[in-house]
Structure 1
Amino acid sequence: MQGPFKSRLLLLAVLVVLLAIGAMVARQYLLAPKMAPELSESMEPTRQLREVLLYFASSEGIGLESEMREIEDCLAEEDCLRATLQALIAGPTGERVAVLSSRVLVQKISVDGATAIVSFSRELVAGHPGGSMSELLTVHALANTLAVNFPHIRQVRILIEGAPVETLKGHVDLRDPIAADFDFGRLPVNKGAARPGGE
């Protein structure tokens, strides 16, 4: 009688051990942190974009023409101004002509009432081709681009390396802010008073 009893006792002990191991494994599985499922492409947050209107020189170089562009949306005004100017510096996508060297850097931007104050790197001067019309196109492209996208801004004060300058290459007076002029592109080549030393 003792033989079968011992066998049953041994079998029961083995079952108890197996149940204990199973319970431990199940507990570990239930308590393990669940891995978050990977985001599929359809679940990724979509980039918020905003449209801006940029002004470049016409292919004939006698006026300004606008071009629509998309930039990443922004919350802070300074970030939006900077992104808009960076798009202008990047240049046109069609037959229009860039008004700024691609090496120009936007160093600092602030707004005082209706005036945007923008400090550019020295490449704005060093990389500029000069000439009264070319300078007029550059400064009005800057002023118009900011004014059309930020209606409270009506003019731009241009600084180089944080300091005021009289002119880029001796033609357009930069001692005062440059006002936006949306008629500029439709007027004759001689439009504008290019003081001092105009051609």
Structure 2
Amino acid sequence: MKRVVFILAAVLITGIALGYILGWFFQAARDEEAPVPELIEETLAEREVTLYFADPRGRYLARETTIISGCEDDRDCVRALLEQLINGPRGDNVRVLPAATRIEGVELENDLVRINFSRHLVDHHPGGSITELLSIYSLINSLSESFPYLRQMQILVEGEVRQTLKGHVRIDHPVYADYTLTEPPRIDGGDNPPTHDEKDYREIERLIEEATIDAN
């Protein structure tokens, strides 16, 4: 009788052990067959934009193109473009915004972009009519060419509207894009580099006269 009980117990234990082994085997086989999820690298939306910096001699605005990321929506993309302008050009051109400038906020309203800068834009700016014009029109021209529906720009400093940028060019009203200060195109077959003719200078003088407050 004891022998029969012993045999039955041995058979039961063996069956349980065999069941565990078979269960583990089939589970491992299923795990091997299960598809491994692919790791998808998240990429930020990119966009080609146009940036305007001063030419090496500070006479006019020279055009550069670059690719920026972070363009899931236009407001973020505008901020990324402005940061590129602050970072400065890649080549021999000259920055037109102080490197310490910070962007405190960007608002889009129909065709108007409202940009709130830190005080560094004013405190670190060298001033002067031409320099202020180059700074202002580098901003609006870059924005308007990269985002054609943005036709005007309002500059704020620490959330406030200022009368001028640095004592010369008015920024107390929205500014529209104006490409008078941009580099003249080369003429095919010409031997000489492009220069502003008398008409170009008259247009620049007109811009200064219209945008500058009489010191008196």
Same-fold status (TM-score > 0.5): yes
1:20 maps to which residue?
19
- For structure 2, the 5+ residue unaligned runs are 185-199
> How far off its partner does 1:8 sit?
6.0
Cα RMSD for the two superposed structures: 3.1
Give the 3-state SS of the residue equivalent to 1:176 in structure 2.
Answer: coil
Match of 2:47 among 45, 50, 53: 50
Aligned equivalent of 2:87: 90
Deviations 1:131-150 (A, max 9, x none): 11110100010110111011
- 3-state SS of paired residue (2:107): strand
The structure whose RCO (Cα within 8 Å, separation 6+) is larger is 1
1:37-186 aligned within 5 A: 39=39, 44-185=41-182, 186=184
Deviates further, 8-17 or 51-60: 8-17
Aligned-partner Cα distance in 1 for 2:11–2:44: 63
Question: Given residue 177 of structure 1, which amino acid in structure 2 is its aligned partner?
Answer: P
Report the equivalent of 1:196: 213
Structure 2 contact 129–212 (Cα < 8 Å) conserved = no
Runs of 4+ in 1 over 4 A off after TM superposition: 5-11, 26-32, 34-38
Distance 1:19 1:123 in 2: 77
Tell me what 2:196 maps to.
Answer: none
**What TM-score, normalized by structure 1, do the two folds share?**
0.81
CA contact (8 A) 2:52 2:141 kept: yes
Unaligned runs of 5+ residues in structure 1 are none
Provide the secondary structure at the position in 2 that maps to 1:138.
helix
- C-alpha distance in 2, partners of 1:158/1:46? 32
- Describe the shift of the 1:17–1:152 C-alpha distance in structure 2 as closer, same or farther (beyond 3 A): closer
What is the number of equivalent residue pairs in this alignment? 193
Amino acid at match of 2:164: T
CA deviation profile, 1:27-79 (whole Å, cap 9, x unmatched): 765798x795563xxx5345532110001001110100111111114232211
**Cα contact 2:86–2:97 (8 A) shared by 1:** yes
TM-score by length of 2: 0.76
Which structure features the higher share of helix residues?
A: 2
Q: 1:63 to 1:9 in 2, by over 3 A?
A: same
Tell me if the contact between 2:70 and 2:76 (Cα under 8 Å) persists in the aligned partners.
no
